[in-house]
Amino acid sequence: MTPPQNSLHYASFSTPDGPFSVVANDSHVLASGWTWDIASLIELIHPTLRAADPAPGDQAAVPGQGSVLTHAAEAVADYYAGDTAALDSVPVAQRSGPFREQAWEVLRQVAPGAPLTYASYAQRAGRPAAVRAAAGACAMNAAALFVPCHRVIRTDGGLGGFRYGVQIKESLLRREAAPAPSPLADPRLESPAR
């Protein structure tokens, strides 16, 4: 369990999918997503991880350059440059009940290019019959991209929902898709049999 920190800091920057913001304490990313609206991200953070309620007129979070924010921003830039593993080393803290916390840890293990169905996600999270609870863990995930809920899709192959829009989810999944087969493996390009 991560102790609450005294202050929250944020960073916002542009990505190919639109604006992306990160809210962190001194040691962990607490919330992130495709928005400039920092207040909406702070609302997603579990109350025990938020800074003490600010006094009237104070900001709930201040712009920052902490090592966690710097690391997170670099990881997002590297991700969009093609290094989908760059996000793995960014520390994230979220709190909820035991199943949801376990489900979020499972999400961090889902490999890019290998999306899971909600049913298989529930199974990996230890409760095969809890498909709705698994979907709820995706819906309540505050740390989008770092906890890759976009890698969970419907059993019929549909994308399902995504807090930041299905277009962004589709873009992320396309970005993470396995590379196209080598032209050398294309049977149309093989030499004719002799």
- Are 14 and 75 in a shared domain? yes
Is 27 a member of any domain?
A: yes
Residue 186 is assigned to a structural domain of this protein: no
Percent of the chain with pLDDT over 70: 80
Six token digits for residue 56: 């009237």
Tokens linked to 134: 């698994």
Token pair, residue 49, equals 């991880």
Of the two residues 192 and 117, the one the predictor is more confident about is 117
Which of 8, 105, 23, 88 lies closest to 54, judged by CA? Answer: 8
This prediction has a pTM of 0.83
Residue 116 lies in a domain: yes
pLDDT band at 183 (very low <50, low <70, confident <90, very high): very low
| Euclidean distance between CA atoms 1 and 67, whole angstroms | 20
Same domain for 74 and 119: no
Looking at the annotation, which residues are catalytic?
Answer: 149
Q: 3-state class of 105 per DSSP?
A: helix
Residues 163 and 106 in one domain: yes
Residues 82, 101 contacting (CB under 8 angstroms): no
In a domain, 4, yes or no: no
pLDDT at 3 over 50: no
163 is a domain residue: yes
Q: Is 84 helix (H, G, I), strand (E, B) or coil?
A: helix
Residue 7 amino acid letter: S
Residue 20's domain comprises 9-89
Based on the fold, state whether residues 118 and 144 are members of the same structural domain. yes
Q: What is the pLDDT of residue 8?
A: 87
Query: What end-to-end distance do the CA atoms of the chain give, in Å?
Result: 66
User: Position of tokens 């419907």?
Assistant: 154
Q: How many domains does the chain have?
A: 2
Average of per-residue pLDDT across 171-194: 60
- Predicted confidence band of residue 50 (pLDDT cuts 50, 70, 90): confident
CATH code for the domain in which residue 119 is found = 1.10.10.10
- Whole-angstrom distance, CA of residue 173 vs CA of residue 114: 9
